[in-house]
Structures are given as C-alpha cells and as structure tokens.
Structure 1
Amino acid sequence: MHELGVVFYVVRDVKKVAEENNVKKVSAVTLEIGEVTGIIHDYLIDCWNWARKKEQVMEEAELKIEQIDAVTFCEDCEQEYPTVTYGKTCPNCGSEHTYLRRGNEFLIKEIEVSDS
C-alpha cells in the first residue's frame, strides 16, 4: 500500500508550510490526483485519517480529493482522447503514437487554515 507513504510526504510538506507561516491549525488539505496514478482514494483517506492524528497542527484536518481526468494525445491526428476508455490506441485514427498529456499528477492544491 503506497498510499501510506504518500500520506507521510503530504503530512510532512503541509506541516512544514504550517510552521513557516505560523499556522496553529490546518482545517483541510486539497489534493489533485490524476486518474491513472494508481492511488486508491479510499485507502488514501484511511491513511490520512490515521496519520493526521499524529500531528497536533493537523489532527482535525479534512482531506479533499479532486481527480484530474487522464487525457492522451495522438501525435498522428493531433487529437486528445480519454485515456482510461481507449488506452494507448487512438480511437480517432488507430495510431499508437500517443502519450499521456495529463492524469498522472499528484499535487497539494490547497491548505486551509482555521482562524482559532
């Protein structure tokens, strides 16, 4: 389960940002996760709920997840298409000269802080 390792990195980075900005309480963290990262959202949330309780600044922080849909680009017909539906083969021209344009990202988008 690599979700736990990912959560450790997110907690570390959020804690560092909180310290640098004199934040006492983080209320929520929003992640952007690509559709083809292989990360299982339910596992990630379970790991988050366990790990956040270990850090006082984050012990009540909610995890919000925004999915980035996977999109592939075809170099032959120069069209984009949904990766998960069609895979590596372009549905427009049948070419396999394609590459993933987006959908493999994992980003901390936003850190919300509490006023109290």
Structure 2
Amino acid sequence: MHEIGIVNGILKTVIDTAREAGASRVVSVKLRIGDMCEVVPESLDFAWEVFREDDPLTGESELEVEDVHPRSRCLACGDEFDHDRFHLRCPACGSPQTRLLQGRELDIVSMEVETDDDFQLGT
C-alpha cells in the first residue's frame, strides 16, 4: 500500500509550507493524481484520515483529489488519444509505440490555510 508513503510525503510538504506561511491550521489540500500512478482512492483517503492527526496543523484538514485520466501520443502516426491504464495501443493505426502525455501526475495543486489573523474581527 504505497498510499501511506504518498500521504506521509504530502503531509510533510504541507506542514512545512504551512509553518513557513505562519498558518495556524490547514483547512484543505487539493491534489492532482494520474490514473497511471495506481493510487487506490479509498486507501489514500484512509491514510489521510489516520496520518493527518499526527500534527495539530492538519488534524482536521480535508483532502480533495482531482483524477487525471491517461492521454498518449502515438509515435508512429502522431495521433493523440485518451485511454485507460491497460489499453495503450493507438486506436488510429494499432501501433504499440506510444508516449504518455498525462496520467502520471502526483501534484499538490493548492492548500487552504488559516492564520491567527483570520480570527481577529473588527480590529
């Protein structure tokens, strides 16, 4: 279950970034994950729920994941096409020689944080 390692790495980056920004709390984190990374969404969510509580900054944070579906280019005919994880052959010419254009992403897109200043009203 490599989702545990992924979540630990993401949380380290998120916590370090939040501390540098002077955040008092991480509200949410948005990720882009390509289907070719073979991340199991339920395992990722479970790991997030468990490990986010290790630090008070992320203890109540939410995780949002944007799925990125695979898209490739045929090296024989140049056609670009969408596909699933298992069918990489070019639908235009049948060539197995393709290059993945998207679908391996594993990116932190954004994070929402609160600072102590967010709680000062009317001053």
Note whether the superposition's TM-score is higher than 0.5.
yes
1:22-41 matches, within 5 Å, as 22-41=22-41
How well do the aligned residues superpose, as a CA RMSD in angstroms? 1.3
Where do 5+ consecutive residues of structure 2 fail to align?
none
State the 1:86 CA deviation.
6.6
Residue of structure 2 equivalent to 1:102: 102
Give the Cα–Cα distance (whole angstroms) in 2 for the partners of residues 57 and 28 of structure 1: 11
Q: Does 1:18 align with 2:18?
A: yes
Higher Cα Rg, which structure: 2
State the 1:26 CA deviation.
0.4
Say if 1:14 and 1:85 are closer, same or farther in 2 by CA, change over 3 A. Answer: closer
Say if 1:23 and 1:86 are closer, same or farther in 2 by CA, change over 3 A. Answer: same
Q: TM-score, normalised by structure 2?
A: 0.89
State the 1:85 CA deviation.
7.0
Say if 1:21 and 1:85 are closer, same or farther in 2 by CA, change over 3 A. Answer: closer
Where do 5+ consecutive residues of structure 1 fail to align?
none
Q: Deviations over 1:14-40 (max 9, x none)?
A: 000001110110000000000111100
Q: TM-score, normalised by structure 1?
A: 0.94
Residue of structure 2 equivalent to 1:84: 84
Residue of structure 1 equivalent to 2:55: 55
State the 1:80 CA deviation.
1.1
Give the Cα–Cα distance (whole angstroms) in 1 for the partners of residues 41 and 55 of structure 2: 21
Q: Deviations over 1:48-82 (max 9, x none)?
A: 00011111001010000001111011022211112
Count residues in correspondence.
116
Structure 1 runs of 4+ aligned residues shifted over 3 Å read none
Give the percent of matched residue pairs that are identical in Structure 1 and Structure 2. 31
Q: Which amino acid in structure 2 is aligned with residue 65 of structure 1?
A: V
